[in-house]
Amino acid sequence: MTITEGQTVPAFSLPDQDGNTVTAAQLRGGWAVVYFYPKDDTPGCTAESCSFRDNFEAFTDAGAKVIGISSDSIESHKAFAQKHNLPFTLLADTDSTVRKQFGVGKTLGLLPGRVTYVIDPDGIVRKVFSSQFKPKKHIDEALAVITNS
C-alpha cells in the first residue's frame, strides 16, 4: 500500500536517536514533516538533513515538527544528529516496517526511496514529494504546503 495525499498516516511506533518511542499519534495537533531517507551520513542524505536543519526555525515558526526516518540504528542516528547538529527527531526503522507501511519503495530497485510527507494537524497527508536525486527540494516543497495552508 502506498500512502497518498488525502489519506491518514498509518499507526506506527519507532525509537528515536535517544531511545524514546515516537508514535504516529504524537504527530497530531500540529503540522509534521516526515521524510524517509536512504542512509545516515551519505552525501545526499546529509545534504537533505542539513537543509532541514538550516530551515528548522521556519518549520517550527510554522508550527511543524520535522522527523527523519531511515533503517539505520539508534546509535547511527545519534552520531549522525550530533555530527551535523540536527535539532529534530530521527527514527530508527531498522526492519523497514514503517517504510513499507507508507509504501516507500526503492529507487532503481536498489536504494531505499527518498520521500517526504507533509501531514496536517489531523493526521492527514497533504503533500507527498518523492525525488531521490533532488534532496534539498523536499524542504521548499514542504514549507510551501505548510505556510500556504
Q: Which of 45, 67, 81, 145 is catalytic?
A: 45
Residue type, 14: L
50 is a catalytic site residue: no
- 75: cell is 546509535
Active site members: 45
